[in-house]
Structure 1
Amino acid sequence: MLIGRERARSLFTDLTQSATVPADPDELLHMPGLAHHGHVFFGDIAVRCYKHKARWMYDDRDIRRVGQTFAELRVDLVDIVDVQLPAYRDSADDDTQQRQGADWRSVLVSWMFGLARHKAHDGVPYAEWTDDWRQVGVNGLPGDLTWEEFVAASSRYRHTQNLAGTRPLELLTWSGQKWLLPRAYVELLDRWEEREDELVRLAQVCSSCGGQGPYRGGWRTSTSSGYVTKCPPCSGAALQSYAGHLRGVQYESPRRRRTRADDYLCCLCKESQASAWDHCHGHGYVRGPLCGSCNTRECKATPERFLQLDGAALHLLECRGCLEQRILPRRFHLGVVLAHLEQTERHGRCRRRPFAREVEYLHGVHQFQLECFGWHAKNSNWTKSVTVSEVHALVRAFVDATLAEREIQPSRKGP
């Protein structure tokens, strides 16, 4: 019998009350590995997720099996070993051939140094940032980070600071020279790494041709019945290309409801099976079919980042209302302004593009702060005021430029 996520969490909590490994039952709500392999882990034990009537659920029998198995795990808190954490490397240090696969030791290090960096830079002007936060103190933590702050942050960001559904900081200790964990718990997390990698690779096998996709790549897409994996060639061969036949149709129209989005290829990335009909919330017109990833980007990505995607602006203009009025949805207006300021504003004679962000809106005027990313010793910040009417003018100019670019690209179908 399938049960909801809340019921699954409650049942798992009851079954694991006597467990010696600290677990976080909220993993059953957040489903961190859903898009990657469709399972939730507790240690090296995986529980499968099911989609039924557009809701993610669990099999009652799976929850009982996983809960009982996890409760029987035994950890000797006296038998402890050196965790042997790797050196910290941030994204700027990594080359393009980054490691693939689960690595719980590196994740633990990234929590420590990420929090230390945030503490060191919080409220400090960019030009005054230093790398002192990288230095490890006598307490084993980098920068000025204290153990109490580390634990507090782990509780505050609970659903993002678990390892395989377990709470490592409840078992982690500092000897004065090295970090220690119970041997059985270390072995449990090592087995989780292997099982996690196995499930991810299995989930990246194309269901049509059997080809192996990239590790946690973009072959998986959400559908009404769950995630499916198809390589771009198989998706293109099996699915229809959207030709704009619902352009000008209202989202609530019976005509739209008679057409399944998952019969089509995503009209934005043009690689994955679509899962939903994207539409303009302001005018109600259908824009086109999008896959789960592209639909999420349109809704949740920063506006300026979404507008940088190839074809994104033209996709927004698939709405007849936006096209006729030469506007974009309101949430994208400031994204247009930010991009304009970064392209046109400069600090004195500096040729570097600044970073812009809105800091205040008052009496019809947006106040933006621009910063030169520390290329100058000091005084690299300045402000720029943009009125509402200027915002509208910039958006109109952006739309006109987008449509003009479409006209000189005859191979691209537009509204």
Structure 2
Amino acid sequence: MKYLFFVQTDGRGHMTQAITLKERLEKSGHSIVGLVVGSDKRKKLPAFFTEQFTCPFFDLESPKFLIRKNGKGIRIVASFFYTIYRLPIYLSAIKKVKKIINDLQPDAIVNFYEPLAGNYYHVFKDKRPMFCLGHQFFINHPAFKNPEINFLNKIFFRLYNYLTAGSRATKIALSFTEELDLPRKNLFVCPPLIREAIKNSSSSNQNFILAYILVSGYSEEIIAWSQKHPDYQVEAFWDKHEQAETHFGNNLTFHYLNGQKFIERLSSCSSYVTTGGFDSVCEAAYLQKNILMIPAQNHFEQKSNAADAKRAGIAISAKHFDISLIADKQTKTHHLAALQAFKKWVDDYDEKIINILEGKEAKRI
């Protein structure tokens, strides 16, 4: 089959998912005929992502959340009005999507939480199957427990889910735990997409803590903590691309995001600290790491990820980068049984997503 990918490029997670699924589909004899990314023109797409695709590549401007001035959260209301203001640009992008699809003639669309794909289906009523992947769709499963957050943020999150997928799309809810499918809701629960490079890496516990931050505002908290705790070695990844490495004192190094280096450092760290992203937490859990999550302010998606990771027993969460919560290697933020169950869930059902995309999964329900 011929698949067209749509990828949201906020953070690293959806890009990593796309790379992993691309490799698995091609291994099964399918092809990726094109890649559409909804991007923020102010940000440079990382090489670890763009270098993995040789198919036609289309970079279109897409609705994005606005970051607070302190770099520690999102501005919900401002983001809404900014989207309205730039609506003509986004409508133009949707028309470009129609031309791309007409030119490439894919058999199916795979959407990694990019609203351009969902809105294209809402506007043009395309009959091709669309598969939407993300932990975000797990909020529609009864096993999900809502985090404490204001009502307005919840409404915006559910609206964003609808704009991304719609009612006809097959929703593939990535989950920390094995749960029942809900075929009547067109909702299928699958394990996270763990890269082969992670699965094949040799996990160890060296004497440093690894951090990854989606928004650079949290770097100040990491720097402050490292200055107060000079006996602890900390390495961190961020999206500042001015230089490959930035050093703060003798015990803290920030790296510009690099795929291979991230895998190497994640495999070797004693503990992992991050904002509320989903995929890197899954990779750390697969490697049986100690995990602390700090969801970005006003970010319902990240708060949901953190609450669900806590439900699954694989991580703890905090409001600030208090790395002391996991700095002691003897401190356990997880239950060993929960991490082992997570790894088994991933390994035992690794082909489930491919079966769904090929139309085979219905036979197993």
TM-score, normalization by structure 2: 0.25
Higher relative contact order (CA 8 A, sep 6+): 2
Structure showing greater Rg: 1
